Amino acid sequence: MKVIQHQDEWEKLFEAAGAFKDAACWEFMNDFDLFAVKDPVSGVIYYCSVMGRGGQMFGLAAYKGEKGFAGYKRILNGEFEENPMDAMCIQDCYMISFEDREMLFKRDLELIKALGLKFRGRNAWPQFQDYSAGMAAAGIETAETIKLLTIILEQSLQIAERFMENETMLKTRPGARTEKCLTRVMETVDGTPVWKDKWMKPRPYVEPAPDCRLDAAVADNLAELKKAVKRRFDRLELGFFFMPARIGPEGGPQYHPFMCIMVNGGSGVVMGFGFPEGPGKRYSQFYKMIADALRKAGALPDEILVSNGEAFEAMKPFAAIIGAGLKKLKRLRGVEAARESLESFMMKR
């Protein structure tokens, strides 16, 4: 029998999850009915969104602080509709969901069995996961996190019950700034902790710039490549994205690799692909990879095409050295076809 760490905390969390599921909040709340819960221990604000109105995934997402809120807004704005995998890899949140049994990991089933709990049917099995940008979903382990999710579920249920009686309660009050969010905050009144409503505006979040250092050795290599290679082709499409594959030890921290695919925009031929070691976005490790692919092809592009502003900034020094134009397009059809083929192959393995 599996030895359970923090058994009391786990039992309370499963009880809170059961109460949340019984309330079926997704029947009357949408994912854009946002509210927040402030952690009384750390002070971090978790922005909560009920999932399930669309009938696909049922549960609650609690986005972590300003970074999580920024990711939530990008998802809500439909930025990742064409590539849902990209949404999974940018979000920072805790996910409490109700799954079919076959969707659970071994760790989930072992925990449920050790606690002596039983569930039956579709969308009945609670699962608690920690999503961090670029990382594969991980289980939760510490007593602090288990207690936090219990608090979030309890306060979310309190909000949902009030929302059912008043669907306008989460809308910003007249005269208030539009981006304020109803936030549950614990305060001490006469020595007793009391949960109260506060309207709070999320702090702005600035995404840290990814690693785009083009070192001297690579710059010299590119300058030499420009002199040595005289043949040209019209355009090079460069796609940068996270892959669904998981890299890392079994049972340990795993990440989704950040990949680059290089496609001849005229012919649609894939000229190369690869990813750097370790998690996160590091464009700097792609520079030599792209240069080697161009050297092997024996031709340089007149124009480099990318699909977002971050990649545009990252490729500026590269394009300048080899004398290529640089343009941002919403869709790169060669990259899209190559990515679809690669992901299809990986999902079959």
Per-residue pLDDT tens over the stretch 17-57: 999 999 999 999 999 999 999 999 999 999 999 999 988 89
- The percentage of residues in the chain with a pLDDT greater than 70, rounded to a whole number, is 94
**How confident is residue 275, by pLDDT bands cut at 50, 70 and 90?**
confident
- Give dist(CA 292, CA 245) in Å, integer: 25
CATH number of 216-348: 3.30.420.10
Residue 209: which pLDDT band, with cuts at 50, 70 and 90? confident
State percent of the chain over pLDDT 90.
68
- Averaging pLDDT over each range in 67-76, 143-152, 184-193, 219-228, which range is the top one? 143-152
pLDDT at position 347 is 59
Task: Please check the confidence at residue 249 and state whether its pLDDT lies above 90.
Answer: no
Q: What is the 3-state secondary structure (H, E, C) of the chain?
A: CCCCCCHHHHHHHHHHHHHHHHHCHHHCCCCCCCEEEECCCCCCEEEEEEECCCCCCEEEEEEEHHHHHHHHHHHHCCCCCCCHHHHHHHCCEEEEEEECHHHCCHHHHHHHHHCCCCCCCCCCEEEEEEECCCECCEECCCHHHHHHHHHHHHHHHHHHHHHHHCCCCCCCCCCCCCCCEEEEEEEEECCEEEEEEEEECCCCCCCCCCECCCCHHHHHHHHHHHHHCCCEEEEEEEEEEECCCCECCCCCCCECCEEEEEEECCCCCEEEEECCCCCCCECHHHHHHHHHHHHHHCCEEEEEEECCHHHHHHHHHHHHHHCCEEEECCCCHHHHHHHHHHHHHHHHC
Please state, in angstroms and rounded to a whole number, the distance separating the CA atoms of residues 280 and 130: 17
Q: For residue 146, what are the CA distances in angstroms to 13, 67, 292?
A: 7, 21, 48
CB distance 242 to 86 below 8 Å:
yes
- Read off the tokens for 326: 């640089």
pLDDT digits (tens, 9 = 90+) for 89-137: 778 999 999 999 999 999 999 999 999 999 999 999 999 999 988 888 8
Handedness of CA 175, 176, 177, 181 (dihedral sign): negative
Cα–Cα distance list, 261 to 63, 133, 143 (Å): 30, 21, 42
Q: Which pLDDT band holds residue 84 (cuts at 50, 70, 90)?
A: low
**pLDDT surpasses 90 at 346:** no
Can you read off the two tokens belonging to residue 117? 């709990």
For 10-27, the pLDDT digits (tens) are: 999 999 999 999 999 999
Of the pLDDT bands very low, low, confident and very high (cuts 50, 70, 90), residue 349 is low
**What is the predicted pLDDT for the residue at 11?**
97
d(C-alpha 244, C-alpha 27), whole Å: 31
pTM: 0.85
Listed range (91-105, 172-186, 190-204, 245-259) with the worst mean pLDDT: 172-186
Return the structure tokens found at 185: 């905050």
Q: What are phi and psi of 342, to 5 degrees?
A: -65, -45
Tell me what the pLDDT averaged over the chain comes to: 90
Looking at residue 193, its pLDDT comes to 93
Evaluate if residue 83 carries a pLDDT over 80.
no
Q: What is the mean pLDDT of residues 179-208?
A: 92
Question: In the chain, where are the structural domains located?
Answer: 7-200, 216-348
